[in-house]
Structure 1
């Protein structure tokens, strides 16, 4: 398993040449799992992120725009989610850094726990269907993992709010929230491949994957997937209402969940989406530990 915490904890500060990444790792103003933070910052400090990312971003976003024009004419010509996820699996296993893969798989795992936490703390919501995604290895991506993640988010919000309207349920403060869905320990991921080809950082990988995602899905599926990235604040408000801590939503606010944004910027918003999930889950872990329910 990854141990990048030691890399930052053993780093010696040079007052005349301090490390940006060292400072961010030591800062605790925003809740974040220490292992995930170390992996994310280490991955962000690579040469791939510094030099490859700016070049890839230009061509990837141009590809998205050109593909969008193509799909204006033929929006449903290609619909191959299985092939999409096979490509994602190959890319993740053989070309992405182990730190990036660690962060990606954590995102699906934590997202499922956050949704379950909300459901567990809304009285009368027991019948709302759930489809938890808790991948433990890169091979789990092949089971349409990315697509299922998007569908889970939409279906949860729709089903929860239909139940609120039809059954009179309420999302409200709970004096003793049920934290049983929240994992506080280490997630038992399988070992990630770390060959010489595994050099592409998370940001660059997402820029490459976004047009691939667009190519293999219908225009409607891709549009829906990119719009799902603006629902972080919605989920954050649900959780903060239950915990009665709206002031802690600082790192979760996207301020515009009802306003669609251009698909060309979806890769950057996906990074923010992953960041928001980590922060919200870390808040729940802190609250669970404070309650003594470890």
Structure 2
């Protein structure tokens, strides 16, 4: 972002946040997020899209009550998502969406790789193109998270183990990917910002998934706190928990707020991942460091 034209009588709030380093976040992600926040799409389209999304979700909720399995098709949903992302979503928003799957996969791999005695076989999701989305990518992301929590805690209970700082922390699975290896479409139609895209896609998500799948997807956002606690137990420090906004998974929040909380979910994953990246860069070249304590 350009700060050569800074006007002290009319400061750019997104420039201020871009220059501020108090919150750890990947530099490419941060620049994309700030450009996304200051886009014309946010100013002129998002308010109308939010109203349309909430009203549409209400009627789909009523429809699902009478026809709970009338429109269920994850295959159709993900084809719509792939088509929409490719043709209408901005390069910055697409970058943020694609990065989220890579970051989330590495965080789960970090937790699994730093609890001695636990063996977890995950389903890594690192999409490289829009075709990857068609393979139920978004649904698998939610399933991965719940299956991870269930399988992890089942083994901890069966083996009488607990999560605690290991002798050496393994960061080999954490990458410093700047995501410059994917070129996202930038046609005149690719204008939607991240929040507008999520608000538009959420009713389709609700329509084409079962009620269980949609509610589970919405509630999974509050597992940010759970994943952050696992990580703090491994690192031996609770410092990064203050960066988590989606909390209290045992008290679910209405699905009407899912779009906003999804953006917070992405930010929480990015900040946690950047903390791990900085640990790897500053303290080790081979990915093995001593935990805090």
Q: Cα gap change, 1:250/1:195 in structure 2, threshold over 3 Å: closer, same or farther?
A: same
Alpha-carbon offset, residue 220 of structure 1: 1.3
1:178/1:67 Cα in 2 relative to 1: closer, same or farther (>3 Å)? Answer: same
Aligned residues between the structures: 286
- Which residues in structure 2 correspond to 1:121-200 (within 5 Å)? 121-126=114-119, 128-187=120-179, 189-200=181-192
Structure 2 length-normalised TM: 0.94
Does residue 23 (structure 1) correspond to residue 16 (structure 2)? The answer is yes
Any gaps of 5 or more consecutive residues in structure 1?
1-6
> Displacement of 1:256 after TM fit?
1.6
Q: How big is the shift at 1:221?
A: 1.0
The Cα shift of 1:251 comes to 1.2
Measure the CA separation in 1 of the matches of 2:64 and 2:181. Answer: 38
Tell me what 2:33 maps to. 40
Consecutive unaligned residues in structure 2, runs of 5 or more: 287-293
Moved more, 211-220 or 250-259: 250-259
Tell me how far 1:248 sits from its aligned partner.
1.9
Shift in Å at residue 232 of structure 1?
A: 0.3
Q: 1:111 aligns with which of 100, 104, 108?
A: 104
Provide closer, same or farther for how the CA distance between residues 44 and 168 of structure 1 changes in structure 2, counting only shifts above 3 A.
same
Alignment of 1:231 with 2:256, yes or no, is no
Tell me if 1:67 matches 2:60.
yes
Q: In the alignment, what sits opposite 1:3?
A: none
Deviations 1:60-101 (A, max 9, x none): 011111111221222222220011000000100000000000
The separation in 2 between residues aligned to 1:159 and 1:11, in whole angstroms, is 52
- Gap change, CA 1:67 and 1:41, over 3 Å in 2: same
Structure-1 residue corresponding to 2:264: 272
Q: For 1:207-246, what aligned pairs fall within 5 Å after superposition?
A: 207-246=199-238
What is the Cα deviation at residue 250 of structure 1? 0.9
Structure 1 vs Structure 2 CA RMSD:
1.3
Runs of 4+ aligned residues of structure 1 deviating over 4 Å after TM superposition are none
The answer on whether the counterparts of 1:252 and 1:280 sit within 8 Å (CA) in structure 2 is no
For residue 276 of structure 1, report the CA deviation from its aligned partner: 0.7
Q: CA deviation at 1:277?
A: 0.6
Deviations 1:147-181, CA, capped at 9 Å, x for gaps: 00000000000000000000122211134310011
- In 2, the alpha carbon distance for the partners of 1:189 and 1:87 equals 24
Q: CA deviation at 1:117?
A: 0.2
1:191-213 deviation line (CA, Å, top 9, x unaligned): 11100000011110000000011
CA deviation after TM superposition for structure 1 residue 253, in Å: 4.0
Equivalent of residue 55 in structure 1, options 48, 54, 60:
48
